[in-house]
Structure 1
């Protein structure tokens, strides 16, 4: 998100957290594809518990490529005259693929001028309807405004694809947008139950602990602490201008929340504690994906957070 947005909300986040309502979430319930009770995996890989069969029709209420009316939170394909368009209603299963889309402006023409946000002009996210298979990608744009996102293999089911961007000119200049569309991946859909809320997750030998007491519709601060073998990690490397990137999706409707980092990168010695400005529009369970980098390798930890 743009720096101006992050700074304007920092005072709210600090005020909301002075009550010292820190919640040490119970270290349990994180599932993984290995079934060992902890979430793990790299960006673009499924972060899921052991799947169970379900019918493809039960994945989401919306049809592929169709989007609900604008409710904010990244659940619409259009907002304030800006629209995410794509001819793709399906993507293949089980192999890397590409998703092409265009952002059109209020004049109906493709937008080609975008501001840089955390080192990128476009952030692209993919999440399956059961909150597995998270991918955070940075697509490339052709001269005609067509973006191409190179996706890792997708499992059958319904996926929601999000484009996060800030126009550098025009009516929406300086405003951050998150638009999305859905696609269907053909095949027998296997859904996974959402792991229960938990304050910790492990990935690649690292343990991530998230603390905070968020309430829907209010600004709060979340803290994430990274340890390894019980010792604080202090060698986090810069990733997108910060030491960690945190994204969240709401269980059920897949509403999007990009949680703004308050710890800016200053050399390769970040950690162990990182802070985020958090605003969740709705109560309920949210699936969090925390990305951080060490030794040139990107790690993605996932856990479920309950918002009151």
Structure 2
């Protein structure tokens, strides 16, 4: 590996635009427009790019987070750069293109007005954040990014009276930068004494089911706690462009048939062949934890190594505006 380089904001921006994609996701298929009725069936039945239908997930939905503007709204990042290794406040707003004004009215989705995903370009750092909104429409959340480089900021929200949207933009973290390879393919993740097993595969352009089983100390966890209205939330990011696909469980608390673990199943459609990182948020004993996996839609590449288990995902975290830290 090359010695660390001191990157400038300009270099970080170049890396975000022209940087080499690690792993097998460097070349991805063109993204087709979202099919009608395609993407996400939330509690209120809305559909949005970047989501998968909870009960079926049939048809390949266009991934979200690749555009800074869509549907008449723009993601305005007020702090496009921060310093790695130092706590900072990330500030942004969503503006309505027709008026130029900040959006102040949102419809709550899964218990929150807005979900924010923050991931490094090499997908070794991941945060699922829930920022606080000021009265003027400015959002803010504390962040502490451990590595320098380019990050993708993805906002998942639904303006009141509008369609659900997933917008994305780039964030530069200055400091000594050393590129990292995409984490090896794995079907088992360990975090804080928990072991999560992944079963199932992603299939390009076709709905497929994946099941995650949570164990602790060698015993199944059968008392997962609801978090944001579900027993688990799964986010998939495609290596290379960090296209965002947010899938939801098949069933949930209160439906009379879904058990609170140890298994949580999801139906998802990968928009293309390539490498993906999957991040499962689950809550047990009052704490939200994140288990991370590297998978490939379309099969394992020649010469690729596979890891049965991996150490605790220290850089895959979940943070709340109330606490301001990642779990």
**TM-score normalised to structure 1 length:** 0.75
Aligned partner of 1:176 in structure 2 is: 164
Secondary structure of 2:53's match? helix
Deviations 1:155-196 (A, max 9, x none): 211111111001112xxx1x2211111111111112222222
1:138 is aligned to 2:182: no
Deviations 1:235-260 (A, max 9, x none): 21111111111111111111111111
Instruction: Tell me what 1:42 maps to.
Output: none
Matched, 1:12 2:46: no
The answer for the alignment partner of 1:194 in structure 2 is 182
1:120 aligned residue (112, 116, 121): 112
Distance across 2 between alignment mates of 1:103 and 1:10:
26
Cα contact 2:145–2:173 (8 A) shared by 1: no
**CA distance in 2 between partners of 1:249 and 1:159 (Å):** 12
1:61-100 alignment, distance < 5 Å: 72-100=63-91
1:155 paired with 2:143, answer no
Give the corresponding residue for 2:314.
Answer: none
Q: 1:303 aligned to 2:293?
A: yes
Q: 1: distance between equivalents of 2:251 and 2:213?
A: 12
Structure 2 contact 124–183 (Cα < 8 Å) conserved = no
Q: Check whether the contact 2:194–2:214 (CA below 8 A) recurs between aligned residues.
A: yes
Which of 191, 197, 200 is matched with 1:209 structurally?
197
Structure 1 runs of 4+ off > 4 angstroms? 5-8
How far residue 88 of structure 1 moved from its aligned partner, in angstroms, is: 2.2
Cα RMSD between the aligned structures?
A: 2.3
How far apart are the structure 1 equivalents of 2:234 and 2:63?
19
- Structure 1 unaligned residues grouped into runs of 5+: 17-70
SS at match of 1:91: strand
How big is each residue's C-alpha offset from its partner over 1:130-156, in whole Å with a ceiling of 9 and x where there is no partner? Answer: 102211110111111111122233421
| CA distances 1:13-54 after superposition (whole Å, capped 9, x unpaired) | 4x79xxxxxxxxxxxxxxxxxxxxxxxxxxxxxxxxxxxxxx
State the TM-score, normalizing by the size of structure 2: 0.70
Aligned to 1:246: 234
Q: Is the 8 A contact 1:100 1:148 kept in 2?
A: yes
Could you say which residue in structure 1 is the equivalent of 2:15? none
